[in-house]
Amino acid sequence: MAKYILKQEAIFALTNEANTHKNPVKRAYKRAARIIEQMPTVQIMEWVSCEERMPEPDTLVIVACYGSDIIIPQHGETLTESIERVQREHVTVTLGFIGSDGWYGCDYFPMMIAPTYWQPLPEPPKGE
């Protein structure tokens, strides 16, 4: 099942369904189509794997980094086991961009852990 439906597809489906019925069901479908048409459009972002595609250079994006630059073995773990655990359990979501020589955070400092996923920033709210 789809995670979401497109607004225009919903309006089209309701309008088509309205044309196959008589009043008052027809009016109900048309009213539902008008309500959906008036709803604000929501921008839905999907995560993009860095293995699949990278963002444009110098473009600020949302990134997900798995791992940490601080590794502390716990309960008799070896260093390798600690690294694997941290990479599995520790995820950071932040802002970053690709510079001339690697990933940078929004503070322009190099990122210690390279992101594995990214997504574009959403459109900012419309000001008055």
The model's confidence at residue 4, banded by pLDDT at 50, 70 and 90, is low
Number of domain units in the chain: 2
CB contact burial 26-62 (16+ within 10 A = b; e otherwise)? eeebbebbeeeeeeeeeeeeeeeebeeeebeeeeebb
Same domain, 52 and 32: no
pTM: 0.58
Same domain, 64 and 91: yes
Residue at 18 is within a domain: yes
Omega prior to 55 cis, within 30 of 0: no
Same domain, 109 and 56: yes
Query: Which of 38-42, 115-119, 122-126 has the least mean pLDDT?
Result: 38-42
Residue at 95 is within a domain: yes
Residue at 113 is within a domain: yes
Residue of 29, 35, 37 lying closest to 9 (CA atoms): 37
Residue at 73 is within a domain: yes
Same domain, 58 and 86: yes
pLDDT of 1 strictly over 70: no
Contact status, residue 36 vs residue 57, Cβ threshold 8 Å: no
Residue at 127 is within a domain: no
Domain that holds residue 70: 48-120
Q: Which of residues 1 and 112 earns the better pLDDT score?
A: 112
